[in-house]
Amino acid sequence: MTSTTFPAAKLPFQQRIDLAIMAMSNEANISRLAAQHEVSRKFVYQQKDKAQVALNDAFAATAPDDTVLFNFPVTKTWLNQLTVSLTLICHSSYRGVVELMRDLLGVSISEGSVHNLHQVAIERAGTINKEQKLSAIRHALLDEIFHCNQPVLAGIDARSTYCFLLAAEPQRDSETWAIHHMYAKDQGFNPDYAIADAGTGLRAGFKLIWKDKRCHGDVFHIQHLCEDLSNTLIKMANGATTGRQKIQDKGTKGLQHGQDHEVMMSQALALEAQAHTLARDVKTLTQWLGRDVLALAGPSLAIRVELFDFVITELLAREHLDPKRIHPVRVALQNQRNDLLAFAGVLDGKLEAIPFKSMIYKENKFILR
C-alpha cells in the first residue's frame, strides 16, 4: 500500500498567500490558477476564503474607546502597592506619584505619605532579605553608589544579578563595610572572590573579614578614567589649533605683524603640534589598554602584564608634558595593575583545566578526537 502526497500539501506557506491574493482579484481565473499550481479548484477557493476572513477581521469595526474592558476592586492595599510600584517599576518621582493619583484616580496623597510607604516597604524587604541564604553566591560584585549625597553600599551576585546588599550608611569606611560582610557571612555568604573598584574603604573592609580572598579590579572605572584623560587632551589639542588660527588670522588681516607675530606663530605652532601628538599617543595607549590588555578575550596573564607595564612606561615618558592630568591616571594604573589583571589569571586556570583534543576536518565538518 503506497501513500500519495498531493501537490497542495507540499505548497509552501508564502505560495499559499500569493495564490489567495491572486484568487481574490476580479480578473482571476480559478481554473487557470489551479492548473498553474497543480492543485484543485476547491483548494484555490479555500485559500481565497481564508484570505477574505482575515481581511474582514482586520477591517472590522473596533469597540469604542470608552468600552469597559474589566473591573477590579480598588482597596487601600492596592493603592499602596501602586504607589510603591510607580517608583520601583516606572521610576517615577514622589511628586509624579502624587500627580498621577490625583489626576487619574482622584486620590489625595502627599509626598510625605509616599515616602513613608516606601520606608515601610524597605523594612519588610529587609526582613525578607535577612532570611535569604547567600551560600550560592560565588562571585560578588561590590560598589558604592550615592543617593542624596549619602553612600549606599551595594553587593550583587555576578551570576544571577541578585542584589544581596543595598544599605544606606552615613559613611563608607572599612568598619562599615566589614559589618555588612559579617551580616552576609551569617547568611552563608562565602564568595570565591569579589570584583570592585579601587575604593579604599570597600577593599579594606573586604580584607578585614575575608583575609586572603582576592578582590579583583573593576576594569570599567579605570578604562573610564583613561578615556576621560584622552578626551580632555583631544579637546586641549583642538583648543591649541583654534589659538594658532586666531594668531594667524590677525597676521593675515594686518592686525599684528613683525617679529612679535613671528615669535607668537612659532610658539603656537609648536604648542599645537605637541598637543596633537600627546593627544594621539594617549588615545592610542587607551585603546590598547581597553582592546588588548583588559579585554575578556586576549593573551595570557604574563603577556597582559608586559603590555600593561608598557602602557604605564609610555604614560610616564609623557607625564612631564601635562603632569596635572597624566600623573593621577598613571599612578592609578600602576597601583591597581595586579587587581585589574586578576581576571586573566582566572581565565588561564580555566583554560588549563580543559583537556586538549586534536581536531580533524572530515566530511565537511570539524571533528574532535
| Choice among 65-69, 107-111, 159-163, 201-205 with the minimum mean pLDDT | 65-69
Quote the CA–CA distance of 196 and 213 in Å, as a whole number.
13
Q: pLDDT at residue 150 above 90?
A: yes
Q: Are 229 and 202 in contact (CB under 8 A)?
A: no
In this prediction, residue 3 carries a pLDDT of 45
Quote the CA–CA distance of 97 and 85 in Å, as a whole number.
10
- Of 216, 219, 197, give the one whose Cα is nearest residue 291: 219
Which position has the higher pLDDT, 59 or 193?
A: 193
- pLDDT tens for 234-267 read 999 999 999 999 888 887 766 666 677 788 889 9
Give the list of residues 6+ apart from residue 360 with CB closer than 8 angstroms, or none.
Answer: 366, 367, 369
Quote the CA–CA distance of 247 and 269 in Å, as a whole number.
10
> 368 — phi, psi (to 5°)?
-80, 140
Mean pLDDT, residues 258-278: 89
Mean pLDDT of the chain: 89
- pLDDT tens for 316-333 read 999 999 999 999 999 999
In this prediction, residue 262 carries a pLDDT of 84
Grade residue 52 by pLDDT with cuts at 50, 70 and 90: confident
pLDDT > 90 in the chain, percent: 63
- pLDDT tens for 26-46 read 778 888 888 888 888 888 888
- pLDDT tens for 172-210 read 999 999 999 999 999 999 999 999 999 999 999 999 999
SS3 of residue 365 by DSSP: strand
Domain positions in the chain are 11-50, 76-127, 132-217, 219-352
Just give the CATH number of 132-217: 3.30.420.10
Mean pLDDT, residues 265-294: 95
Quote the CA–CA distance of 163 and 177 in Å, as a whole number.
16
- pLDDT tens for 113-135 read 999 999 999 889 888 988 999 99
Quote the CA–CA distance of 230 and 196 in Å, as a whole number.
23
Which position has the higher pLDDT, 340 or 353?
A: 340
Q: pLDDT at residue 359 above 60?
A: no
Q: pLDDT at residue 2 above 50?
A: no
In this prediction, residue 141 carries a pLDDT of 96
